[in-house]
Amino acid sequence: MRRFNLAVLAALTLGAGLTAVPAHAGEVRAGEAHAPLGIANCTAGACHFDVPAGTYDVKVLLGGDADSSTAISGETRRSLLPATAAPAGERVARSFTVNVRTPEGEPTGAEGSPGLDLVIGGTAPALADIKVTPARHARQILLVGDSTVCDQPGDPYSGWGQQLPQYLRKGLSVANYADSGESTVSYLASPQLWGTVQPLIRPGDLVLVQLAHNDKTTDGATYRANLETLVAGIREKGGEPVLVTPIVRRWFNSDGTLNNNTALLVNGLGVDHPAVIRSVAADNGVPLIDLTARTKSLVESLGTEGSKALYLYNEKRDNTHTSVQGATVYAGLVRDELLAQHLVPEGLVRAE
């Protein structure tokens, strides 16, 4: 086993038996210089860092005397680090970048707690050390979407955007501004949504747009115009728009295929949302993640029974919203497309 310096050894000793500390320990205020915040801000199962809104790099050292498996989530149930194994007596280092903001989850939802909150989970969690520092040159992926994308506040719901951060390494953060119940019409009209997101876009940022599920009464011309407005607004700020077709609804025909209207997002006016998105992407030179096609293929391959676990059918008889399992699988599909289309560097994405 490689040797650690005295400072790290001290942190490992503390990590073996964490005790509660005051919430203000290691407090950071904007404009002040401080050493990296560390494990003194943690209890046995959680860490709180009193930091202002911003983007932060988190480096963790995992492992203990016994075999361990540790996962980390934060803020409004965002998955930030997948289950990571460490053999007994060994330490495994991992890093990720996290967005801290208010409200911390859905933009029109509850504010949440100030600062950065992390939950240390997994089947056998062991946090040996942690350091939190302001991110200097992190690239953002901003998400514009609906309830199938957003940071869902409570079990058993989860949006794919809520699970996407676990697939990313240090240097690439997710700022999820998806919000339940939103259409292209309502998203563009809201100061809390588009009025907040557009000013945050920096040159080089990716902005993934998936809005369709709630455009049930939006006619085709308006829907297309709204998508083009979003694309133009992203480009105006120097960002790179990526259009995402919506995840399918779990509605089967008797032959085991998905229903052409309800499942594949054709609204009551006959507007084929995925087809319009594909057309706008092609006509405007915008990268396209065809999540409708990817999720359709997966759901049909699993069949009527196997696909239930991806959605909340068993819990809520819900064939639209995804479970944590489904959101994680669908986030993996988005990760795969980001890599395949060279939209993000391979070195900033976790393969596992």
The pLDDT tens digits of the residues spanning 309-338 come to: 999 999 999 999 999 999 999 999 999 999
pLDDT tens digits, 238-281: 999 999 999 999 999 999 999 999 999 999 999 999 999 999 99
Kindly write down the DSSP assignment for every residue of 146-199, as one continuous string.
-TTTS--SSTT---HHHHGGGGB-TTEEEEE---TT--HHHHHH-TTTHHHHHH
Q: Which domains does the chain have, with CATH numbers?
A: 6-134 (2.60.120.260), 139-348 (3.40.50.1110)
Per-residue pLDDT at 14 exceeds 70: no
User: How many C-beta atoms lie closer than 10 Å to residue 228's C-beta?
Assistant: 14
What is the DSSP pairing of strand 54-62 with strand 127-134?
Answer: antiparallel
Residue 352 pLDDT class (50, 70, 90 cuts): low
Check residue 35 and give its pLDDT: 59
Per-residue pLDDT at 12 exceeds 60: no
Asked if 92 and 63 count as a contact pair (C-beta separation under 8 A), the reply is yes
pLDDT tens digits, 55-64: 999 999 999 9
Q: Give just the sign of the alpha carbon dihedral 6, 9, 13, 14.
A: positive
This prediction has a pTM of 0.90
Per-residue pLDDT at 25 exceeds 50: no
Rounded to whole angstroms, what are the CA distances from 252 to 184, 263, 293, 296, 306?
27, 8, 15, 11, 12
Residue 34 pLDDT class (50, 70, 90 cuts): low
* Stretch among 7-11, 57-61, 118-122 having the lowest mean pLDDT: 7-11
